Structure 1
Amino acid sequence: MPNIGRYIDSTYMNLTAFFSFNTYAEFFQLPFQRKIADKVAESGFYAVVPDFFFGDPFVANTSRTVQEWLKTHGTDEGSKNATRIIAALKGNGILAVGAAGFCWGGNVVVKVSKTYNIKAAVLLHPSWVTLDDIEAVKVPLSILAAELDKGTPANLLKQFEEALSKNKVDNFIKIFPNVKHGWTVRYNDTDPVAVKAAEESHQDMLHWLTKYLKKT
């Protein structure tokens, strides 16, 4: 099972938990990106960022391609590990769990969302999510997408929204203008426009999780 101690912030003890996934090494290495988990903890959640890659995250600009890396770090295995972590959290007294997935993690979270193991989910610039995935979702789902992300074009997001609404699954889908894939966790923190867009997405994520997890 992944080491859930990789980054945990429990500023406030609560009976609700949040956990998050990302593909890239810098999510753990850059302090300003850890602020996402800190923001969640400050909102009263037990925030957990598991290491699903066992110390072997994808690193851009190396000889290993994403396709090669995925052979040993697929999202099917990721979703199994996520289910184990959820069970461990609940076994320790957590009553409600919410999940947010960034990039690779979006695909993991959408798989977990096909069960009632979590109360709500957020996908931020998700990768490889299909209409079939969305049609199987059972819990409230928010998708925060980038206008310039070829993986989630506007017409596909519209289909996602229609499918969720048809299945009576609460949903919130938002396209952020003039941003690229990864803008919520990989941005220039000296660029006020980039920071504003990222922080807006973080707030949207928090609002969605608070809406559903704090009902418990």
Structure 2
Amino acid sequence: MASSQCCDNPPALIPACGKGKVVDSFGGLKAYVAGPEDSKAAVVLVADVFGFEAPILRNIADKVASSGYFVVVPDFFHGDPYVPENAEKLIPVWLKSHTPEKGFEEAKPVIAALKEKGVSAVGAAGYCWGAKVVVELAKANELQAAVLLHPSFVTVDDIKEVKCSISILGAEMDVRSPPELVKQFEQALSVNSGVGHFVKVFPGVAHGWSVRYSLDDAAAVKSAEEAFADMLDWFNKNLK
């Protein structure tokens, strides 16, 4: 069962936001896309339970795109993101029909569509729920680079099976992936000399800090911007 921390600070959804565009089908899923269509390097962003319309997530997509990547943010929830106000569909109930394993299966055609359009290097970043999708892709050799941000549902056994360069960005006050677990992730990666890795725990922040925060909170913005810089640096090192 996911903890309530996963559902803290839900974003106000603004479907029209972002510099990119929403397409009805990319690899079979509705998606927000941004960046140069002819880029040979692409990044897939996998949302947390609040879905692909979250304004900060789209802002992140736009910033990644401005660095030359073609960016895809698929709607893995098919128009049904988690809504905290919906008391009849609590998070454990919602998760039964929105499993990360289903997201992984639906992500594979998205990556295939990227390759069909000429992309030769694919990276993916996942937030919370999305981190489990990304680690499954990394285990299946579907990616050249992966980034997990405050992951949920990810296990040490998952990390042991990763086949591409991976960065894990954790939070000091995270009950889903506490620093002790993130340290175990790092130890597992250190044993695998064939996989490049970067692991970091951000002090003073909680689960969701990199994609759900108040723009009026200077400290929160600074931490989120640092996480973004680390993520982009990882892609720049491993996709270009």
Give the structure-1-normalised TM-score.
Answer: 0.93
Report SS of the residue matched to 1:7. Answer: strand
Residue 78 (structure 1) aligned with residue 126 (structure 2): no
What is the correspondence of 1:12-91 to structure 2 with a 5 Å cutoff?
A: 13-25=38-50, 27-30=52-55, 32-63=56-87, 64-91=89-116
CA–CA separation in structure 1 for the residues paired with 2:94 and 2:47: 14
- Counterpart Cα distance in 2 of 1:117 and 1:74: 19
Contact 2:28 2:110 in 1 (8 A): no
Letter in 1 for 2:72: V
The alpha carbon displacement at 1:99 in A equals 0.2
1:131 paired residue among 156, 162, 170: 156
Unaligned runs of 5+ in 2: 1-24
Give the distance between the partners of 2:67 and 2:118, measured in 1 at CA.
Answer: 19
Q: 8 Å contact 1:12–1:42 — kept in the other structure?
A: no
**Which residue is equivalent to 1:205?**
231
Q: What amino acid is the match of 2:61?
A: A
Question: 2:213 is matched with which residue?
Answer: 187
Letter in 1 for 2:138: S
What RMSD, in angstroms, separates the aligned Cα atoms of the two structures?
1.6
Query: How far apart are 1:61 and its partner, in Å?
Result: 3.5
- Residue by residue, what CA displacement relative to the aligned partner does 1:119-161 show, whole Å, maximum 9, x if unpaired? 0000001101101101111111101111100111222111111
Secondary structure of the corresponding residue to residue 209 of structure 1: helix
Residues of 2 paired with 1:34 and 1:112: CA distance? 22
Any conservation in 2 of the 1:122–1:142 contact (CA below 8 Å)?
A: yes
Deviation at 1:188, TM superposition (A): 0.3
Contact 2:150 2:169 survives alignment (8 Å): yes
For the Cα contact (< 8 Å) 1:3–1:52, is it kept in 2? no
CA contact (8 A) 1:147 1:153 kept: yes
Any unmatched runs of 5+ in structure 1? none
Aligned length: 213
Partner of 1:163: 188
Q: Which range moved further: 150-159 or 79-88? A: 150-159
Cα deviation code 1:3-23 (max 9, x no counterpart) = 555311114741000011113
- Moved >4 Å (runs of 4+): 1-5
Partner of residue 21, structure 2: none
Rate the CA distance shift 1:131–1:92 in 2: closer, same or farther, 3 A: same
Give the Cα separation in 2 of the matches to 1:196 and 1:47.
Answer: 23
The amino acid that maps onto 1:49 is: V
SS at match of 1:28: coil
Between the aligned partners of 1:148 and 1:132, the Cα distance in structure 2 is: 23
Residue 148 of structure 1 pairs with residue 173 of structure 2? yes
Q: Is the 8 A contact 2:171 2:179 kept in 1?
A: no
In the superposition, the TM-score normalised over structure 2's length comes to 0.84
